[in-house]
Amino acid sequence: MISVGEARRTILQNVSLLDAEEVPLLQGMGRVIREDVLAPWDIPSADCSAMDGFAFSSASLGGTKLRVGGMLPAGAQSIHAVAEGEAVRIMTGAPIPAGCDTVVPFEEVVEEGDTITLKGKARQGAHIRRKGENVAARDKVIAAGTLLRPPEIGMLASLGKASVRVYRKPEVAILATGDELVPIGSVPGPGATVNSNSYSLASQVMEAGGTPILLGIARDNQDATREMIAKGLTADFLVTTGGVSIGDRDFVKEIITELGGEIKFWKINLKPGKPFAFALYRGKPVFALPGNPVAAMVTFELFVRPAMLKMMGHTRLFRPVVKATLIEPLRNKGDRPLFVLSRVKLQEGRYSVSSTGQQNSANLMTMYEASGLLELKPQTGASPGDEVEVTLYDREFEMREECHVAD
């Protein structure tokens, strides 16, 4: 068996960046840009007013009154120079007309007919946004490798980008194995189980930014398993569940090798998720996950998700880790590191944590109620009041518990 850290390093060393695709701008949201973006023009494109007010020449400040001659709205451009002793009504964003170098807001003047009187002193150059002061033409505005959030999308739109070149989303084939499985929508008979793994894993793929391809269920015979694994190997990578242990009908590793794949490792020193295999098939990653639902989801979170993110150009591959106060005793009596499904709470800026109950890798309810993972080393324990580190994989609880509506 190898350690969790060694397994992660091996996986990340053996996955490569996907190629690029051009997508409409809004489809770039949450994805990583593949190229540097240079500004095609200055922003602002000209000196413009930062306020609704009056524009005039600072040479006119010696006078007590200025005569107002016309109005310049945003989007318009004056073709006439403003003479000394005159002012023009100007709106925010309108270009500064020739002959003007200062703007005062409406509230800082007294209007009398077609004249204005300043209430106080005006500073030369006040309330003017200078050409290119935000972005100068040919500046590198967004660097390749940047995650596109709403601010980046807005900036790209301001640069006239209707589309953006990003790393392609991976297509992830998902295959469940086992004679005991029945399709979703079926009523399971004695000894049967509904195939939930394909749907929980597909959801995890989508949450990480990939596109799941559900292959269905491979029955416990070599021909069926071989046929469906071969089909899955046409995707960017393949995720299987079940059939990876040492039972008489556990064919997955054998078939991957038979088809030309190379098993990089099998078995990880952790609980849940020990029977996990990672392989490469013509450079494509193949993840053979355990069949128990919780073990499948935990190993996806620990190993598959970071690989997906790396392939899509992300640099932050792992979930945040926080310190939390334990509110119940926990003990790992086993000889493998135990990842405890944990319920995390946030109150007044402080985290507390407890387990979700009996840690059973077949019981999805423990996963359903969890928002973090707490690692306990073999033959160790922790007591109430201890400060422990928790990996947060679901931060929705923060929004639920810390959201207060103002009076």
DSSP codes, 238-251: EEEES--SSSTT--
Contact indicator for 357, 367 with CB cutoff of 8 Å: no
Q: Which of 272, 380, 387 is nearest to 325 (CA)?
A: 387
The Cα–Cα gap between 12 and 8 comes to 6
CATH class of segment(s) 321-402? mainly beta
Buried b or exposed e, range 332-359, using 16+ CB within 10 angstroms: beeebbbbbbbbbbbeeeebbbbbbeeb
Predicted confidence (pLDDT) per residue in 3-20, tens digit: 999 999 999 999 999 999
Q: CA 335 to CA 319: how far, in whole Å?
A: 26
Structure tokens given for 99? 């002959």
Q: pLDDT class for 358, splitting at 50, 70, 90? A: confident
Tally of helices (H runs) and strands (E runs) in the chain: 9, 27
Query: Please, what sign has the CA dihedral across residues 196, 199, 203, 208?
Result: positive
More confident site: 50 or 397:
50
Q: Above 70 in pLDDT, residue 402?
A: no
Phi, psi of 141 (to 5 degrees): -90, -45
Residues 1 and 319: their CA atoms lie apart, in Å, by 24
Is the pLDDT confidence value at 361 over 90?
no
Given a cut of 80, whether residue 397 has pLDDT beyond it is no
- 147-171 confidence digits (pLDDT tens): 999 999 999 999 999 999 999 999 9
Give the number of other Cβ atoms within 10 Å of residue 140's Cβ. 11
Span 29-42+135-167: which CATH code?
Answer: 3.90.105.10
Superfamily of domain 48-129: Molybdopterin biosynthesis moea protein, domain 3. (2.170.190.11)
Mean per-residue pLDDT for 114-126? Answer: 91
Q: What is the CATH number of domain 4-17+169-311?
A: 3.40.980.10
By the 10 Å C-beta count (0-12 exposed, 13-18 middle, 19+ buried), 273 is classed as buried
The token pair that represents 190 in the structure block:
């004695």
Domain with CATH 3.90.105.10 in the chain: 29-42+135-167
Segment 209-267, tens digit of pLDDT: 999 999 999 988 889 899 999 999 999 999 999 887 766 557 889 999 999 999 999 99
Instruction: Return the ∠ at Cα 320 (arms to 316 and 326), rounded to 5°.
Output: 165
Compute the distance between CA of residue 221 and CA of residue 98 in angstroms, rounded to an integer. Answer: 83
Check residue 70 and give its pLDDT. 87
Output the pLDDT for position 247.
60
Are 276 and 290 contacting, i.e. CB atoms less than 8 angstroms apart? yes
User: What is the C-alpha to C-alpha distance for residues 17 and 20, in angstroms, rounded to an integer?
Assistant: 9
Region of 126 (left: φ > 0; alpha: ψ -120 to 50; beta: rest) is beta
- Cis peptide leading into 44, omega within 30 of 0? yes
Strands (DSSP E) contained in 29-170 are: 37-38, 48-49, 53-56, 66-72, 86-90, 102-105, 109-112, 115-118, 128-129, 140-142, 163-167
- Which tokens sit at 167? 């790393």
pLDDT bin (cut points 50, 70, 90) of residue 143 is: very high
Task: For residues 47 and 129, give the distance between their C-alpha atoms in angstroms, rounded to a whole number.
Answer: 6
φ, ψ of residue 335 to 5 degrees: the values are -105, 15
- Compute the distance between CA of residue 110 and CA of residue 123 in angstroms, rounded to an integer: 17
Percent of the chain topping pLDDT 90: 80
The number of residues in the chain equals: 407
In whole numbers, what is the pLDDT of the chain averaged over residues?
A: 93
pLDDT in tens, 317-355: 999 999 999 999 999 999 999 999 999 999 888 999 999
Rounded CA separation 164/183 (Å): 39
One-letter amino acid of 163: S
What pLDDT is recorded for position 324?
97
Q: Looking at the chain, which residues constitute the CATH 2.40.340.10 domain(s)? A: 321-402
Could you tell me if 294 and 272 are in contact, meaning their C-beta atoms sit under 8 angstroms apart?
yes
pLDDT at position 63 over 90:
no
> Where are the CATH 2.170.190.11 domain residues in the chain?
48-129
What 3-state class would DSSP assign to 231? Answer: helix
